[in-house]
């Protein structure tokens, strides 16, 4: 029996390359996750405010003030109340924003991610 034909596995070099790629993708993912979590929080906040019965007839100033108070609670720093666009859809306010986040990876390498959360769609 030929033992070379029966042996299977990863060489040490293949293992090192695989481990290196896994670490790079892991670090990148861990640095990007907070930006996506904060975007989900902002979208959730927009939907909550848009469906709040007290905000149905509120002025844009009152809606922005409500958003500002809620961002302090949720520790949202990506946007401010002045960045919100408020329109009306059949009496219900529609909140939307457009912002970008720059995530520094290492050295002079960064990711630039654009987000467009909105209260529409739910």
Task: Read off the pTM.
Answer: 0.81
Of 22 and 92, the structure prediction assigns the larger pLDDT to 22
Q: Is 73 part of any domain?
A: yes
Q: Is 120 part of any domain?
A: no
Q: Is 43 part of any domain?
A: yes
Please count the CA atoms within 13 angstroms of the CA of 75 that sit on its side-chain side.
3
Q: Is 74 part of any domain?
A: yes
Give residue 54's domain range.
Answer: 14-115
Q: What's the CA dihedral at 84, 87, 92, 97 to 10 degrees?
A: -30
Rounded-to-integer distance, Cα 39 and Cα 67, Å: 14
Mean pLDDT of the chain: 89
Q: What is the per-residue pLDDT for 120?
A: 85
Q: Is 54 part of any domain?
A: yes
Q: What is the per-residue pLDDT for 55?
A: 85
Number of separate domains in the chain: 1
Residue 39 has pLDDT above 60, yes or no: yes
Q: Is 36 part of any domain?
A: yes
């Amino acid at each position: 029996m030929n033992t070379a034909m029966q042996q299977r596995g990863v060489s040490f070099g293949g293992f090192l390359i695989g481990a290196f790629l896994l670490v790079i993708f892991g670090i990148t993912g861990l640095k990007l996750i907070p930006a996506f979590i904060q975007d989900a929080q902002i979208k959730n906040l927009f939907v909550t405010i848009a469906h709040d019965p007290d905000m149905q007839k509120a002025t844009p100033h009152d809606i922005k003030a409500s958003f500002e108070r809620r961002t302090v609670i949720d520790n949202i720093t990506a946007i401010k109340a002045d960045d919100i666009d408020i329109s009306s859809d059949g009496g219900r306010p529609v909140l939307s924003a457009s912002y970008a986040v720059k995530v520094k990876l290492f050295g002079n390498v960064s990711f630039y991610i654009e987000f467009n959360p909105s209260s529409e769609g739910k």
